């Protein structure tokens, strides 16, 4: 695909799709990681003398009903601070194209206010395309959505290319998955096997060890024949769990942290995995397991991480995730992490600068790992074919 950095941008109207879908609390951006990730792209375009229009979605508003709570206004404010340069929020861009000077940066209001955005409407895609000379797809986090601002617009824009962030994300994922340094260890945590079955299956073909955590691990523990008490697990997926255990090494916990209730004041008890009582639930891996898994991570060549291994939001059930986080940080492996909960754990244990690559993608990260074609990337490939 074409890359933004290969195109002359001076004086060009450049429309950049970013994923600026960030959490907002009390009218302020509460985590600006995605904005900071997009900054180098925005700065490069502005410095090259482009007339920069940024576009993004925020949340899941009802189309055709612009609501204040989904406005990108707080994002425009935060971008203004980060860039040290005013970023105006433009609302009526479908009626009147913004007039910009070279190097200006504006933000177009939430694309999901526009009717037809989510169904990749052709008319709307053409309206976006008419705003620009060059369309830059840089929103890796939304690359799994075939929508007008991520996909349709690339069909009609005079030129369509990949932005530096998208290119960097794809490169890091390729490094981890296509040519991984061995051994490759993946960690897949989270509550349900059912939502991660595709990713577990894909990784079972690629990695040397597959570490499972959270409710997912409970299903595997049950598949190995242990009582999981009243833990969250999926009885109907035990067959699938067994099939996965036949395909790849899945190191199961030998000890676990249990409690009789799921609450911040619950007492955490460490137990061997074969001694979970009927009224107990597993909420974390135990210390022996954590140390064993940490040694696997320290010796890995590649680590791919999606999902915590316990209920780390509650401190007494966070030790397992903390020990693994620190092992990832200490490992010489090429480590890549993605997903909202994983990023929250990385923040909590302050290891961000010791993970090789932190993806901005949640759903997009998983779909890539599953081996699915990302529609927004396919649209850029088609645009490159058209020339």
Which amino acids are annotated as binding site for substrate, given as ranges? 19-21, 34, 57-60, 112, 145
> What is the C-alpha radius of gyration for the chain, rounded to an integer number of angstroms?
23
Known active-site residue 141: no
Q: What is the DSSP string of 215-271?
A: HHHHHHHHHTT---TT----GGGHHHHHHHHHHSB----SEEEEESS-STTPPPEEE
Binding residues for ATP: 196, 313, 339-342
Q: Which DSSP category does 372 fall into?
A: P
What six digits make up the tokens of 384? 């490159």
Closest CA to 246 of 296, 210, 197: 210
Q: Please, which residue, 13 or 17, has the CB nearer to ligand 3PG? A: 17
What residues line the site for ligand 3PG (CB under 6 A)?
A: 19, 21, 60, 141-142, 145, 362-363
Q: Minimal distance in Å, beta carbon 169 to ligand 3PG?
A: 13
Q: Minimal distance in Å, beta carbon 109 to ligand 3PG?
A: 16
Closest CA to 301 of 336, 337, 333: 333
| Distances from the Cα of 251 to the Cα of 188, 290, 293, 303, angstroms | 12, 11, 8, 15
Known active-site residue 363: yes
Binding residues: 19-21, 34, 57-60, 112, 145, 196, 313, 339-342
d(C-alpha 36, C-alpha 244), whole Å: 38
- Residues pairing with 376 in the sheet: none
Q: Which of 34, 118, 155, 319 is catalytic?
A: 34
Q: Which of 103, 116, 301, 363 is catalytic?
A: 363
CA triple 118-123-126, angle to 5 deg: 100
Which class for 203: exposed (0-12), middle (13-18), buried (19 or more C-beta within 10 A)?
buried
Q: Which of 91, 126, 175, 192 is catalytic?
A: 192
Q: Please, which residue, 18 or 284, has the CB nearer to ligand 3PG? A: 18
Q: Minimal distance in Å, beta carbon 200 to ligand 3PG?
A: 19
Which distant-in-sequence residues (6+ apart) come within 8 Å of 271 by Cβ? Answer: 255, 256, 257, 258, 280, 286
Q: How many CA atoms lie within 13 A of 382 on its CB side?
A: 14
Reduced to 3 states (helix: H, G, I; strand: E, B; else coil), residue 170 is helix
Q: Please, which residue, 284 or 367, has the CB nearer to ligand 3PG? A: 367
Q: Please, which residue, 141 or 215, has the CB nearer to ligand 3PG? A: 141
Q: Please, which residue, 19 or 284, has the CB nearer to ligand 3PG? A: 19
Known active-site residue 386: no
Residue 136 phi/psi, 5-degree rounding, is -115, 120
Q: Which of 27, 64, 239, 340 is catalytic?
A: 340
Q: Please, which residue, 327 or 376, has the CB nearer to ligand 3PG? A: 376
Known active-site residue 247: no
Q: Minimal distance in Å, beta carbon 124 to ligand 3PG?
A: 16
Closest CA to 121 of 159, 157, 152: 152
Residue positions annotated with a catalytic role: 34, 192, 340, 363
């Amino acid at each position: 695909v074409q890359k933004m950095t290969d195109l002359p941008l001076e004086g060009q109207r450049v429309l950049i799709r970013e994923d600026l879908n960030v959490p907002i609390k009390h009218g302020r951006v509460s985590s600006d990681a995605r904005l900071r990730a997009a900054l180098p792209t925005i700065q490069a375009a502005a410095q090259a003398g482009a007339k920069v229009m940024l576009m993004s979605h925020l949340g899941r508003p009802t189309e055709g009903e612009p609501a204040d709570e989904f406005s990108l206004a707080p994002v425009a404010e935060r971008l203004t601070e980060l860039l040290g340069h005013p970023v105006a929020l433009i609302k009526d861009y479908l009626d009147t194209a913004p007039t910009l000077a070279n190097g200006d940066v504006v933000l177009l209001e939430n694309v999901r206010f526009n009717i037809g955005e989510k169904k990749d409407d052709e008319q709307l895609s053409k309206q976006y395309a008419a705003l620009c000379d060059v369309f830059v797809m840089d929103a890796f986090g939304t690359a799994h959505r075939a929508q007008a601002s991520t996909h349709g617009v690339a069909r009609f824009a005079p030129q369509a290319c990949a932005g530096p962030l998208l290119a960097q994300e794809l490169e890091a994922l390729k490094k981890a998955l296509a040519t991984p340094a061995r051994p490759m260890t993946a960690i897949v945590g989270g509550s349900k096997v059912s939502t991660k079955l595709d990713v577990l299956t894909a990784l079972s073909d690629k990695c040397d060890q597959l570490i499972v955590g959270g409710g997912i691990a409970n299903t595997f523990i049950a598949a190995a024949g242990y009582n999981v008490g009243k833990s969250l697990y999926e009885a109907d997926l035990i067959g699938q769990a067994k099939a996965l255990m036949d395909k790849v090494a899945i190191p199961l916990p030998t000890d676990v942290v249990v409690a009789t209730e799921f609450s911040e004041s619950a007492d955490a008890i460490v137990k061997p995995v074969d001694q979970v009582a009927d009224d107990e639930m597993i909420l974390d891996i135990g210390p022996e397991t954590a140390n064993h898994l940490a040694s696997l991570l320290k010796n890995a060549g590649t680590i791919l991480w999606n999902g915590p291994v316990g209920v780390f939001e509650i401190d007494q059930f966070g030790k397992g995730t903390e020990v693994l986080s620190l092992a990832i940080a200490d490992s010489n492996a090429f480590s890549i992490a993605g997903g909202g909960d994983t990023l929250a754990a990385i923040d909590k244990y302050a290891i961000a600068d010791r993970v090789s690559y932190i993806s901005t993608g949640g759903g997009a990260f998983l779909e890539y790992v599953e081996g699915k074609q990302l529609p927004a990337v396919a649209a850029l490939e088609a645009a490159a074919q058209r020339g």
